[in-house]
Chain A
Amino acid sequence: MSTSTVAILVFPGTNSEEETLAACNAAGLDARLVLWSDPPADLPRYDAFILPGGFAFEDRVRAGAVAAKSQAVEIVAREAERGKLVLGLCNGAQVLAEAGLLGAVAIARNVPARHFQNRFVDVELTAPPQRCAFTFQLAPGAKIRMAMAHAEGRFCGDASTFDALERAGRITFRYAGGAPNGAMRDAAGVCNEAGNVLALMPHPERAAWAFNLAFEDPSLRSLDSSTPTPALQIFRSLAASLTRA
């Protein structure tokens, strides 16, 4: 068991904190749920932060826009600058993008259809595993099934920005077979330059156990339903990175 502690930030409208907590616990992490309204002075005590999925502040204005202006996220951004690990999952990824932690990268409404898409997707690790703290324990080129559930999940920006992201190995994950949401360069997950911040649109925590995927993949039905899937490696990588640090 790692002695490092992970804060899972909960905003009004967050809805994936329990799954995220379960995945963290299964990876041996000491994770705690921290409300956006808890005393912000406590936040720097944590070694890593996860911003889970949901609809923080009901996605008002834009997904993640209002939460990104909160004092809690301001502190998380400051701690990320100092090298602490920050993982944003779906709505959490939107918050990180709105807070500027990815640079000139936005997460905008899906195209061509603007509607909410809810499906399982396969994403592929397209950067070296060592490039990002959250892929440290994955095999090169690993393909992982995750749950996609968003209407605003399209990574976008200038072509030159995405050229630079590709050169720097910052497009951590891509949708295998093409992005269903119109994301530039099929990006499903983008990390920052230092590799300590990852914004990932699909949900690994909703696909971390055999029972999550058994409907899609009949071969999993013979397994114990609580058998971990490769998606849990994201959280194990976080635990390993904290131990290594």
Chain B
Amino acid sequence: MRSRSSLDVTIEPAIPDNTAFTVLRTLRELGYQELQAVSRADHLLLTVRHAGGSGAEGPAAQRVAQQLSKAEVLFNPNKHRLAYAPAAASSTDGAPDYEALVFEKDDDAGRLLAVLRTTFGMGYLESVARGVVWRLRERDRAAPAERLHWACQTLLSNRVSQDYEVRVRPERIILGADGKSVGEQNDGAAKELR
């Protein structure tokens, strides 16, 4: 019997992100004066097929993330940080942190899926969906959901060609350079630009 699970992956710049800085400036110029920091990450939602019974067990989440990082198609260890979470995970402590996920309405990630499956041995992948995750911070807190909606409608998403979703940020685990998990992603200040 086969089963499926989803894996939420973000690939974010580990170096100063000029695009995030431009968004910070633009949103402030458009009136969002409380905005202090913006961060951005490429987002992948992977559907992983697990073969039970006679087949081999599908790889665990960390193993999938490791393989994805080793492929270095989407990820450059010199410039990026890769983090992952089971898709159902969400923040648990305190007030929820929100993030906006923006994606193309008619993106076809079929070629990417084919490359990952055939060239990089990730044949257990059933589908890939990609987008961009945005996180906004005010002085001492994550931006409230309504501000993310406003930012998406104003700049981050095109209403004709894209869709967006404002959601509670899942607790993601950062994959270290050696392929081992190094801890929870905590909206790292290093990537935020002021």
Residues of A within 8 A of B (CB): 57-58, 60-62, 65-66, 69, 98, 104-109, 111-113, 156-158
User: Which residues in B have some Cβ–Cβ distance to A below 8 Å?
Assistant: 18-19, 22-23, 26, 29-30, 104, 106-108, 110-111, 154-156, 158-162
Determine the chain B residues whose CB is within 8 A of the CB of A62 once the complex forms: 158
- Chain B residue at minimum C-beta to C-beta distance from A161: B160
| A61 contacts B23, C-beta separation under 8 Å | yes
Please report the C-alpha to C-alpha distance between residue A111 and residue B29 in the assembled complex, in whole angstroms. 33
Given known A69-B26, A112-B111, A113-B111, contact A60–B158 (CB-CB < 8 A): no
* Best-buried of A61, A66, A113 by chain B (most CB within 10 Å): A61
Asked whether, in the complex, the Cβ of A66 is within 8 Å of the Cβ of B26, the reply is: yes
A-B contact pairs, 9 of them (CB 8 A): A58-B22, A60-B18, A62-B158, A65-B158, A106-B158, A108-B104, A108-B106, A108-B158, A108-B162
Contacts of A106 in B (CB 8 A): 158, 160-161
What is the count of residue pairs linking A and B with beta-carbon distances less than 8 angstroms? Answer: 52
Question: Which residue of chain A has the shortest Cβ distance to B20 in the bound complex?
Answer: A60
Contact (Cβ within 8 A) B160 A156: yes
The docked-state distance in angstroms from the alpha carbon of A157 to that of B161 is: 7
Bound together, the chains give a CA A106 to CA B158 distance in angstroms of 8
Evaluate contact between A65 and B18: CB separation under 8 angstroms: no
Q: Does B160 lie within 8 Å of A60, measured CB to CB?
A: no
Query: Once the chains bind, are A109 and B22 in contact (CB under 8 Å)?
Result: no
Least CB distance, B13 to chain A, in whole angstroms: 13
- Provide the residues of chain B in CB contact with A98, threshold 8 Å: 158
Of A62, A98, A113, most buried by chain B (CB within 10 Å of CB) is A62
Q: Are A61 and B22 in contact, CB atoms less than 8 angstroms apart?
A: yes
Residues of B within 8 A of A108 (CB): 104, 106, 158, 161-162
**A111 interface neighbour in B18, B19, B108, Cβ under 8 Å:** B108
Report whether A58 and B160 are in contact in the complex, using a CB–CB cutoff of 8 Å. Answer: no
Residues of A within 8 A of B111 (CB): 112-113
Q: Is the CB of A69 within 8 A of B29?
A: yes
Residue pair B19, A61 in contact (C-beta under 8 Å):
yes
Tell me if B18 and A58 are in contact (CB < 8 A).
yes
Task: Give the shortest distance, in Å, between A221 (CB) and chain B (any CB).
Answer: 39
Contacts of A111 in B (CB 8 A): 106-108
The interface residues of chain A lying within 8 Å CB-to-CB of B104 are 108-109
Which B residues are CB-close (under 8 A) to A66?
Answer: 22, 26, 155
Residue on B nearest A62 in the bound complex, by CB = B158
A108 to B159, CA, bound (A): 11
B153 vs chain A, min Cβ distance (A)? 12
* Cβ-closest 7 pairs across A and B: A106-B160, A106-B161, A108-B161, A60-B19, A60-B22, A106-B158, A157-B160
Q: A61 touching B155 by the CB < 8 A rule?
A: yes
Which residues does chain A contribute within 8 Å of B22, judged by CB atoms?
A: 57-58, 60-61, 66
Name the CB-closest residue of A to B156.
A61
Q: Which residues of A contact B108 (CB under 8 A)?
A: 111-112
